[in-house]
Chains A and B, each alone.
Chain A
Amino acid sequence: MKSQSAIEFMTIIAIGLILIGTASFFGTDYISAYLRSADVNAVRQTVNSLVSGVNIVYAQGRGAVTEAYGSIPEKVDRSGTYAYDNQINYRFGENGKIDIYDNTKTNIFGTLPTRQGRYRFFIFPQEFEIIEKGHDLKIDGIFLCVEDMDISCIVTTIFDKDYNFENEIVKGENATYIIGLLKKTDEGEIEGIVHEINIQIYYPNKTIHSDYTIHTESFHESFLHYANTIENIQEEGVWIVSAMYPETGIVGAAYFKVKSPFV
């Protein structure tokens, strides 16, 4: 009698476990698909609001400033996350397999957050001139910055071998990248702070070409900059130069296309 009730009890438990197992097996897929689609929608909305913010500021001209809000999911992949030229792309998900992309009506120099959360962006037209190796370089366009950050803007730009602002580099030639730091607050200069900026350069196949960290000793200028050159570029396709402020996870990235000299 005792063993019979034990068997009955075990049968009920076994059936229950089978039901729970089956439900979890199908449920997990369903839940992960739902979460993925929620992330895709959140990033799409963020990209859309950034694009429309940039277009509004472009239409209004000098002096215009606007705000945009957006949510960022986890697992953002730096190898394809940038707001540069007239393009905004967010790459995220396992192994960076989802790209959410759109384009703007004008040149942008964008800073994008890579850590999960909700962010406020500010968008404004700006112009800077930098002297680099005797060349007078002009950075002019719509800046897209993340508000309430220690460093609010990381601006990455690409110049060709003759120091022209260019995103198409001929195979075998050099590309110079310039990373500028901008703090958009009314507090004035901030001195004596050692900031680390991590720079990663990606080949067109998403593997890392170089990964190193630079230190900016202070904010004596509103637009502190750093320049370096990638020499004799061979791999054709789209390269990404991504500068990140590790403390907050904001990224200023730029891309350039390497093309064959015979095309």
Chain B
Amino acid sequence: MKRRGILSTILVIQLVLLLILTVSQIQSEKEHFSTQQQFERIAAYKISSSFENIRTNIEFLREINATEESINIYLEYVNNTYGGIYFTNIHLNQTHLILMDEAFEMRKEGLI
């Protein structure tokens, strides 16, 4: 009787601990998910604002009749600036720009 009582107490404690563990696990997952979402939002903003910035700059260079050489110099600068900071991969040529953030599996591309 005494042994059974001890066993059932242990079982109840185990159940309570398991419940606490499950709740904390759920909470931590929720926090992780929210942080992840926040990071993704920041990354999405960064990728689209950088893309827009590059696009408008190239558009303006064309408007002031900048030479192809000047646009190439700007693209080289873009590659050096953004290549190592936000984006693990930047593909571009004179008319088409692709920005890729491999960490968040994001990609933005379009005509420039």
| Contact residue among A98, A255, A257 (Cβ-Cβ distance under 8 Å from B73) | A98
In the bound complex, how far is the Cα of B63 from the Cα of A255, in angstroms? 11
Contact pattern, B 50-79, Cβ under 8 Å of A = 1, otherwise 0:
000100110011011111011001100100
Chain A proximity of B39: nearest CB distance (Å) = 24
How many of chain A's residues have a CB under 8 angstroms from any CB in B?
Answer: 19
What range describes how many residues of B lie at the interface?
10 to 19
A100 within 8 A of B: yes
- B67, closest chain A residue (CB): A97
B69 touches which one: A80, A97, A102 (CB < 8 A)?
A97
Main secondary structure of the interface of A (DSSP, over half): strand
Flag if B57 contacts A204 (CB, 8 Å).
Answer: no
- The reply to whether B65 and A101 contact each other, CB–CB distance below 8 Å, is no
CB distance from B77 to the nearest CB of A (A): 6
Assess whether B74 is in contact with A101, with CB atoms less than 8 Å apart.
yes
CB contact between A205 and one of B57, B65, B66, B67 (< 8 Å): that residue = B65
A44 to B73, alpha carbons, bound, how many Å?
10
**What are 28 A-B pairs at a CB distance below 8 A?**
A40-B73, A44-B77, A87-B60, A97-B67, A97-B69, A98-B67, A98-B70, A98-B73, A99-B64, A99-B66, A99-B67, A99-B70, A100-B70, A100-B73, A100-B74, A101-B57, A101-B60, A101-B66, A102-B57, A103-B56, A103-B60, A204-B65, A205-B65, A206-B65, A237-B63, A237-B65, A238-B63, A238-B65
| Chain A residues engaging chain B, CB cutoff 8 angstroms | 40, 44, 80, 87, 89, 97-103, 204-206, 237-238, 255, 257
